[in-house]
Chains A and B, each alone.
Chain A
Amino acid sequence: MGEEWQCRACATPLGAPNVRACSAPAEQDALRARARLAEQEADQRGCLPEAQAFCQEVSTTSGVVVALPPNIALNLVNDPRSIYQNYEQLVEGGARTPAQAESDRKRRAVGGLLFGTYAREIRYGVLSLDNKAPASYGELSFRLRDVTVQQRVTFTEANTYPFVEQHQLTPGKEIPKGYRAVWKNRDQLALAKLGRHLKKKQTRAEWARLLLQSEGDRSKDEFIEAHLFGPFSVDSVEAVEFTPQKATSSENKTLAKLVLAGFKKRSPSAAKKGAP
């Protein structure tokens, strides 16, 4: 089966390959065991209610957020079909072409260079409780609608590269079990990673900051990484926030306003401006 969406013989949908890999019973058992250990540790500290509340919060309200810089996000929001007559017939008409396949090949080539096996169709985001993503990757945060990602997203406990280094993974070496989750057990992953940091009287905002720690330095960012199989479009977006940084240029601020305006047109509830 490998990394296929559907069976080559009968075209039965197989699900996203990353989800299939993380749904293996051994993977799920290992994660459950780690989460249980974290729960026990929290209980020993008298923080069991907090641990349970944390899991409940992550399970019901957390989602996938993608960070994009304004200049790339603008590609997402522009819809030539709303500007031009006959756009689909003139530009998009016809079956998939060799040129499009060539473009895909280049994309895979680039992804492969960076990410190895999981290259082809993975888009990266973070698990977030407050609709924010690390601003160092882009000042615009896109919260994706749960229904558009549930079936094709998985999570790893940390950013891909530090994770690889920390566990000394080499080609051919198996990824240790218990460090990945699918949508329905993402709360267990969060507990396994962050359980020991939970304290009494912590607020939801503090939990959000535990889940995503980012001070603008990518090398120090800490988050649960989301791997989304396949692209997303403007229709997948539930909310957009703009969090300008000190170094955000006036050019990018203007482009961000365009992005927000574009989303507002398509979904009035989606666009929301972030802190100045």
Chain B
Amino acid sequence: MKAYASKSAGIVMGLDKNGKATLMTSAVDGQQWQASAIPQLMSHIDDWQETEWRDESTQLDALAQQHRTAQVINCCMALLEGQSADLEEEVLLLVEEFFQKGADSQAVISKLLIAPLKEPWRATRLARNSLSLNCSATAHLFDELGLFQPLLLRFSNTWLALPTWEFIEFDKTRSELWVSLAEERLNHVLLRCQSQKELKRQWQPLVFKETRPAARTAISAIGNQLAEALFPEQLAVTSALADEVQDLAADDEELLSRQSRPGRVRPDVQLERVLKQIKNISEAVAHGDDARAERYLRDLIESQSGGDTEHAVKSLCNIAKRCGDLFRADFERKCLEKALQLKPDDSWALIQWGDHLKRTGQFDDAIGAFRQAGIYGAQLVASTAIADVWRMRGEYEHALELYHAIPDWRDDRLIRMATADILRFMGHLTEATAEYHGILQRWPLEARAKAGLAEVHKRRGELGPALSLYDQVLLMRMDDDRSWYIFSLARCHLLKLSGRLEEAFRAADELVQEVPFYKDAQLQRASIQALLGDVQKSLLAVPELTPKAFGEWRQNYLRGLLLFKLGRYADARKLLLERLTSTFVRHEPLYQLVAAYAYLQGDQPDAGRAQNILIGLNNLEDVQAEHLRMVLALHAATLKQDQARAQELRRALSAAAKEAPPLQGTLLALARRDFKKVLELELKMFLAAA
């Protein structure tokens, strides 16, 4: 059946077999109306496209996606013109929503690259503002748009400077040809080219579209001119090299034959090229430009793995490490899988692979990888890595045993650090403190040890000393960037706990902008935003998730808290209580606490179930969590009118309130049986602890 569809309106108009209009259907909300009812609307739509209407459901979905894409383009153009701060924020969030619903970012960027911007700085500023709002897809779009501007300006100037007679062979005008580059997304592809050769290759589809030989020749010539205009230095280099070769030929024929052999590159030049490639890949990954990163990666591997794969594996491991530092576990995995494909017995690649598996919660597989690495020669590193897996599993005693079984472990900085951390996790704070001091005495520049001391202070509720230590840590040299980001986030958490919310938000925001894929930083920022009162925006940054990796439970935990804050109790309870028994949360005290909180909500709170959860919790990592546990236990005991238990808890909390005055408010509310107030205050404690 023939039909007409409009992307701008998101409407399709069906025609019957006599060609008469029948129903109008909106692809956006499925609304339908008779064709007779809407002359007022239809006359203003100018982008009708004829189409064959066969599969209504699929085609409506496709039209809805095109409509969203069209809306994104319109919104972006309005943003590039400049809007007030409030409206800009609203529109950025809307654009992100459209992307989440499937708007085509490639189509958008191609359309926006239709001409160079008058004010390119707007794109950069919009990218930055988008990141502040956690709108990562939108940020990436504007970032890319900004990055392409200088090249697009040269490209378009070169295009406009081409003489008119170059275009006489075509059916299309110069403008139409330019517009078709955008519509076919070729402009986007052409702007990514890194060399003349690559641009000419990408230009080929345009050549083959022309049916007449004269037109093909003409368009090919245009492509060559553009390539030479955009990459003139390659032309110059080629000429210079030709001159050099000619000179040398006069002196030394053998040298000439060596130098003219294809593929011969000096080792230092090769190394420089590889380092540059690695840098480009890392940058692309950092920006979320996976397509570009994968392309560069393919080029790198092709150039390196011709004979000896060792260099290719090293490069891949190097890139994987950087991806890990940038919290891009997905790309890290790709690189490591490729490395192991090339060389399955590379012990270093296996160690990194095991580390990746450990961080993503695949503990058994991690141990397997480390054991293999041990077989292939990295015994010591493998042993410590396996011990660390047990530590992450919460099997502290076993982990300690494994660490202390390693010969000369007391002289190994990393094992000493691991031991100190485990003592802290086990709650042996005095021994942990002694161990950290011992490490610092021997290795004064060990930042992790200082951070460990800060965590001990935090656990004891001594926020001032903890902050001061983290300030020192962040000035120290780190083993890697990742450590710096983690410590920075820890400091941000302390600021939040200390009530310095504005400062904490700024710190979290800067971190998110620097490392957009650092999920914990995004969550921290969202929790601070909620404490500052902007709960709706926080919720947007925290979609529901099925945890597949270690640590991902925090997202649902925070989302549950935000839903409680918005009064969406049923949604919050469903989210938190249904996932209570999942592997990832069984051992997570904060998650268990919030589940207990969920049972205390509502018109018919279930104090019994809350108590059952709380009884199973002990040795919580820090004093804030411990306070929460006691407050919730008192709440449950008050509901159950268990006077003895309530009195005991009230005494303990009153003592704690001397160091943590906000607890007084909660105690008073409980004494008055003002449970609504109690729940509010408990929620605030949860958000602070998040």
Q: Taking A80-B77, A258-B78 as contacts, is the C-beta distance between A97 and B83 under 8 angstroms? A: no
How far does the alpha carbon of A265 sit from the alpha carbon of B87 in the complex, in Å?
14
- Whether A93 pairs with B174 at a CB distance below 8 angstroms is yes
Closest to A104 in B: B46
Minimal beta-carbon separation of A271 from chain B (angstroms): 12
Minimal beta-carbon separation of B81 from chain A (angstroms): 6
Residue interface mask B133-173, A partner, CB < 8 A = 1: 00000000000000000000100110110000000000111
Interface stretch among A4-12, A50-58, A108-116, A193-201? A108-116
* Chain B hits for A159, CB < 8 A: 39-40
Q: Taking A80-B114, A257-B90 as contacts, is the C-beta distance between A218 and B37 under 8 angstroms? A: yes
Q: Say yes or no for B52: interface residue by CB 8 A criterion.
A: no
- Whether A78 pairs with B40 at a CB distance below 8 angstroms is no
- Whether A85 pairs with B81 at a CB distance below 8 angstroms is no
Closest to A87 in B: B115
- Whether B50 pairs with A106 at a CB distance below 8 angstroms is yes
How far does the alpha carbon of A5 sit from the alpha carbon of B227 in the complex, in Å?
47
- Whether A90 pairs with B71 at a CB distance below 8 angstroms is no
- Whether A218 pairs with B13 at a CB distance below 8 angstroms is no
How far does the alpha carbon of A219 sit from the alpha carbon of B40 in the complex, in Å?
13
Among A74, A90, A103, A160, the residue within 8 A (CB) of B175 is A90
Closest to B50 in A: A106
Among B10, B19, B171, B174, the residue within 8 A (CB) of A71 is B10
Q: Taking A72-B44, A114-B21, A254-B94 as contacts, is the C-beta distance between A85 and B153 under 8 angstroms? A: yes
Among A66, A74, A103, A219, the residue within 8 A (CB) of B78 is A74
Q: Taking A72-B9, A160-B39, A262-B81 as contacts, is the C-beta distance between A92 and B116 under 8 angstroms? A: no
Minimal beta-carbon separation of A35 from chain B (angstroms): 25
- Whether A261 pairs with B20 at a CB distance below 8 angstroms is no
Among A66, A94, A103, A126, the residue within 8 A (CB) of B44 is A66
- Whether B44 pairs with A90 at a CB distance below 8 angstroms is no
How far does the alpha carbon of A69 sit from the alpha carbon of B10 in the complex, in Å?
12
Minimal beta-carbon separation of B535 from chain A (angstroms): 16
- Whether A258 pairs with B20 at a CB distance below 8 angstroms is no
* Chain A hits for B33, CB < 8 A: 218
Q: Say yes or no for B84: interface residue by CB 8 A criterion.
A: yes
Minimal beta-carbon separation of B560 from chain A (angstroms): 24
List which A156-205 residues lie within 8 A (CB) of chain B: 159-161
- Whether B78 pairs with A113 at a CB distance below 8 angstroms is no
Closest to A106 in B: B48
- Whether B171 pairs with A257 at a CB distance below 8 angstroms is no
Interface stretch among A21-29, A39-47, A117-125, A235-243? A117-125
List which A115-164 residues lie within 8 A (CB) of chain B: 115, 122-126, 133-134, 137-138, 159-161
- Whether B44 pairs with A86 at a CB distance below 8 angstroms is no
How far does the alpha carbon of A93 sit from the alpha carbon of B178 in the complex, in Å?
10
Q: Taking A86-B156, A258-B87 as contacts, is the C-beta distance between A123 and B115 under 8 angstroms? A: no
* Chain A hits for B78, CB < 8 A: 74, 77-78, 258, 261-262
* Chain A hits for B37, CB < 8 A: 161, 218-219
- Whether B81 pairs with A94 at a CB distance below 8 angstroms is no
Closest to A110 in B: B48
Among A92, A113, A138, the residue within 8 A (CB) of B20 is A113
List which A208-259 residues lie within 8 A (CB) of chain B: 218-219, 225, 251, 254-255, 257-258
Q: Say yes or no for B487: interface residue by CB 8 A criterion.
A: no
* Chain B hits for A115, CB < 8 A: 39, 43
Residue interface mask B83-127, A partner, CB < 8 A = 1: 110010011001001000000000000000011111000000000
* Chain B hits for A75, CB < 8 A: 8, 46, 74
Closest to B42 in A: A114
- Whether A251 pairs with B43 at a CB distance below 8 angstroms is no
* Chain A hits for B50, CB < 8 A: 106, 109
- Whether B91 pairs with A254 at a CB distance below 8 angstroms is yes
Q: Say yes or no for A67: interface residue by CB 8 A criterion.
A: yes
Closest to B120 in A: A85
Minimal beta-carbon separation of B171 from chain A (angstroms): 7
Among B40, B74, B91, B114, the residue within 8 A (CB) of A134 is B40
How far does the alpha carbon of A161 sit from the alpha carbon of B42 in the complex, in Å?
14
Q: Say yes or no for B644: interface residue by CB 8 A criterion.
A: no
Q: Say yes or no for A107: interface residue by CB 8 A criterion.
A: yes
- Whether A251 pairs with B118 at a CB distance below 8 angstroms is no
List which B394-442 residues lie within 8 A (CB) of chain A: none
Q: Say yes or no for B211: interface residue by CB 8 A criterion.
A: no
* Chain A hits for B15, CB < 8 A: 113
How far does the alpha carbon of A97 sit from the alpha carbon of B43 in the complex, in Å?
23
Among B38, B47, B157, the residue within 8 A (CB) of A218 is B38
Number of interface residues of B (CB under 8 A): 59
* Chain B hits for A113, CB < 8 A: 4, 13, 15, 19-21, 35
Q: Say yes or no for A91: interface residue by CB 8 A criterion.
A: yes
- Whether A83 pairs with B80 at a CB distance below 8 angstroms is yes
Minimal beta-carbon separation of B545 from chain A (angstroms): 24
- Whether B75 pairs with A137 at a CB distance below 8 angstroms is no
Q: Taking A82-B81, A106-B4, A110-B4 as contacts, is the C-beta distance between A74 and B74 under 8 angstroms? A: yes
* Chain A hits for B20, CB < 8 A: 113
Residue from A79, A80, A110, A218 with most neighbouring chain B CB atoms (10 Å): A110
Q: Say yes or no for B41: interface residue by CB 8 A criterion.
A: yes
How far does the alpha carbon of A118 sit from the alpha carbon of B284 in the complex, in Å?
55
How far does the alpha carbon of A123 sit from the alpha carbon of B15 in the complex, in Å?
22
Residue interface mask B166-198, A partner, CB < 8 A = 1: 000001111110110000000000000000000
How far does the alpha carbon of A115 sit from the alpha carbon of B49 in the complex, in Å?
18
Q: Say yes or no for A60: interface residue by CB 8 A criterion.
A: no
Q: Say yes or no for A89: interface residue by CB 8 A criterion.
A: yes
Q: Say yes or no for A2: interface residue by CB 8 A criterion.
A: no
Minimal beta-carbon separation of B676 from chain A (angstroms): 29
List which B10-59 residues lie within 8 A (CB) of chain A: 10, 13, 15, 19-21, 33, 35-50
- Whether B175 pairs with A92 at a CB distance below 8 angstroms is yes
Minimal beta-carbon separation of B35 from chain A (angstroms): 6
- Whether B172 pairs with A89 at a CB distance below 8 angstroms is no
- Whether A91 pairs with B178 at a CB distance below 8 angstroms is yes
Q: Say yes or no for A68: interface residue by CB 8 A criterion.
A: yes
Closest to B67 in A: A71
How far does the alpha carbon of A125 sit from the alpha carbon of B81 in the complex, in Å?
29
- Whether A110 pairs with B174 at a CB distance below 8 angstroms is no
* Chain B hits for A93, CB < 8 A: 173-175
Q: Say yes or no for A99: interface residue by CB 8 A criterion.
A: yes
* Chain B hits for A98, CB < 8 A: 171
How far does the alpha carbon of A222 sit from the alpha carbon of B47 in the complex, in Å?
29
How far does the alpha carbon of A219 sit from the alpha carbon of B33 in the complex, in Å?
10
- Whether B175 pairs with A71 at a CB distance below 8 angstroms is no
* Chain B hits for A126, CB < 8 A: 40
Among A85, A95, A138, A254, the residue within 8 A (CB) of B118 is A85
* Chain A hits for B42, CB < 8 A: 110-111, 114
Closest to A99 in B: B176
How far does the alpha carbon of A77 sit from the alpha carbon of B8 in the complex, in Å?
14
How far does the alpha carbon of A56 sit from the alpha carbon of B157 in the complex, in Å?
58
Among B46, B156, B172, the residue within 8 A (CB) of A107 is B46
Known: A85-B117, A255-B94. 18 other contacts (CB 8 A): A67-B40, A72-B44, A80-B114, A86-B115, A86-B160, A90-B160, A90-B175, A91-B179, A103-B46, A103-B47, A106-B50, A109-B4, A124-B44, A137-B38, A138-B40, A258-B87, A258-B91, A261-B87
Considering the complex of A and B, which 10 residue pairs feature the smallest CB-CB distances, nearest first? A84-B115, A94-B173, A161-B36, A137-B40, A113-B21, A74-B74, A124-B40, A93-B175, A78-B77, A123-B43
29 A/B residue pairs, CB under 8 Å, sorted by A: A68-B41, A71-B67, A78-B77, A80-B77, A82-B81, A83-B77, A83-B80, A83-B81, A84-B118, A85-B118, A86-B160, A90-B114, A90-B159, A90-B178, A94-B173, A94-B174, A94-B176, A110-B4, A110-B13, A110-B45, A114-B35, A124-B43, A124-B44, A134-B40, A137-B38, A254-B94, A257-B87, A257-B90, A258-B91
